[in-house]
A and B are shown apart, each in its own frame.
Chain A
């Protein structure tokens, strides 16, 4: 009897201790998660006198709506293709199809995302929300670049510091340091590094090339801004994943390495047959964590570029927040969040499947 009552009491105590944390998680994570789904099906705004209406999947359609338009070149009265000075065909403007065109009501309000020439025709991909599409592509680019860069870099560092050398702990500490600094602070600092006039990076490149290098405004050009943010982000979190790799490395039995020594395996063979298979579970964890974190890219953008220049660093989370709070369009922001959730879920499931234990 006594044992039972102790058990119930301690159970109560356990719930008691868990309650504050659980309540906070519920209010700030679990509830908003379901709210996002609910809002995405309405026209809810942050502050609005109008009552909220259920709109079905209209928000999704407005974000994801796409169409392909084939435009024939303009012809003169004789039926000949009108060509410009370079001899290229000229085309009617896209807006003539997408604005108040009674024959193409389904293209109403769409804008050109990108296009190409096919024969004399021009093919245009139209999107209902080009900005969303750009941020989706930028986010995916960021993810695809940062997973190998950050995961591979972290593994390389882990392999380097997983040695018994004098002072190795100093290296471990140095590599881990950026992790404990706030990403906002890191972003601010890197703005100075990337500065177009007197930035550290420009100065170093200038010095190394003996003055031949012309300064670049790294964050101010569409072709370098996203890459600059990728490099900085990889640098900032690489130490964290290095520690996870290191933990994985240290679970591999040293006897396996002795077998490799006796069999005469070289460094690459040892890595391929012993280290990498031994890191399988760690790899799944590291890659999924990096992927999820990468999809949530926000702070760097907010501090460094605000999505610019020319939307070249727009990202999904940045857009979600921009719309939800900047434009008070909570339902639109929620819809982006829900889409992001499904993208991350799908990718994580695929990664899990690809790295599964085969028996």
Chain B
């Protein structure tokens, strides 16, 4: 078990800087998820922790020891790859025990440790099979088994579920969550899937273009996104953004207005909005609700698309006074395309961001 600390970590490939000064502190036993769009550097960052990529500058500490120049095998880490990377020519038993074979561990001890890992993953019955006889989920289990056998202080997962189908992905997600509780190990997990991030993480690191956007617990990110990017990235469907003009700003509230929106007062500290001017109003689709009649302050428009999921109904609305907004309405609503609706929201749940 170990802490992992990254201090001003940078990585360049030639002239291209892909990791631009990252500071992250991962506590002992914590489950941390790196999330971000493709090319944000999350996998590179993980591979730097693993030692598969050099660190251009900055320091990486595992358990208080600077490991920038330590060989991967001596960092006390184990890694699970997206493509599983289990060897087709070895049985499951040999695959799981691969690290022990390399380390020259005695046969008895190897058998014992492989069995232990197999028990944890409930795959004792698979041990004598060949990878070609396994399903995708079972293969990923073998890859995780190989990591467990190493008895690492830090587990690294590089998009381990991306190659699985949706149903299996959910099962494996729960398995990994259980595994984390059971092993109580520090885990660093890379994904582009925000659902995986939200459900698994103790702490999420949102990355974009090699820069940390925000670090926090899943619900902190959801309720208090630090910037427009995080607000738009976390939550599904994405948050609606509307250009607004600041009309009035006081110590505890800011009043904004837009062509499509009558003036509304938000209970946010004026801070950077004190000077007036433009801002971006963010409203989560889930925070919009349909109101009857011509209530003041509502957003009026016409439904252009309806997605009925049973638990919620996602409607895409063209606003009468310009713009477009997505609302996720609780439960099944028999709305049809072309219907006129009025949507309102609780100003307390709206977010206000400075213009980028």
Contacts and interface: CB of A to CB of B under 8 A. Distances in A.
A72 to B, nearest CB: 59
Contact of A259 (B85, B88, B132): B85
B107 interface: no
Nearest to B143: A259
A171 interface: no
Interface string B81-105: 1010101111000000011011100
B163 interface: no
B87 A273 contact: yes
Contacts of A274: 87
Interface string A255-287: 110111111110001000110010010000000
B293 to A, nearest CB: 60
A329 B52 CA distance: 67
Contacts of A280: 89
B225 interface: no
Interface string B39-54: 0000000000011100
A280 B77 CA distance: 31
A262 B79 contact: yes
29 contacts: A253-B83, A255-B81, A256-B85, A256-B87, A258-B52, A258-B79, A259-B81, A259-B85, A259-B98, A259-B146, A260-B102, A261-B52, A262-B50, A262-B72, A262-B77, A262-B78, A263-B73, A263-B98, A263-B99, A263-B150, A264-B72, A264-B73, A264-B74, A269-B102, A273-B87, A273-B98, A277-B89, A277-B90, A359-B130
Nearest to B86: A259
Contact of B51 (A260, A261, A273): A261
Nearest to A277: B89
A interface: dominant SS: helix
A262 B130 contact: no
Nearest to A269: B102
Which size bracket describes the interface of A in this complex?
10 to 19
A148 B146 CA distance: 35
B71 interface: yes
Given A273-B98, A359-B130, A262 B83 contact: no
Contacts of A273: 87, 90, 98, 101-102
Given A261-B52, A264-B73, A255 B102 contact: no
Interface string B209-245: 0000000000000000000000000000000000000
Interface in B116-146: 130, 132, 146
Contacts of A255: 81, 83, 85
Contacts of B77: 262
Contacts of A277: 87-90
Give the most central of B78, B85, B87, B101: most A CB within 10 Å: B85
Contacts of B150: 263
A296 B200 CA distance: 64
Interface string A226-260: 00000000000000000000000000010110111
Nearest to B73: A264
A196 B72 CA distance: 56
Nearest to B83: A255
Contacts of A258: 50, 52, 79, 81, 85
Given A253-B85, A256-B85, A280-B89, A262 B51 contact: yes
A264 B98 contact: no
B177 to A, nearest CB: 24
B252 to A, nearest CB: 53
A277 B88 CA distance: 9
Contacts of A256: 85, 87
Given A259-B79, A260-B102, A263-B98, 14 more contacts: A256-B87, A258-B50, A259-B85, A259-B98, A259-B146, A261-B73, A262-B50, A262-B51, A263-B73, A264-B74, A264-B102, A273-B90, A274-B87, A359-B130
Contacts of B52: 258, 261-262
A328 B88 CA distance: 55
Which 4 A-B residue pairings sit nearest by Cβ, starting from the closest? A264-B73, A277-B89, A255-B85, A263-B99
A255 to B, nearest CB: 4
Contacts of B146: 259
Contacts of B81: 255, 258-259
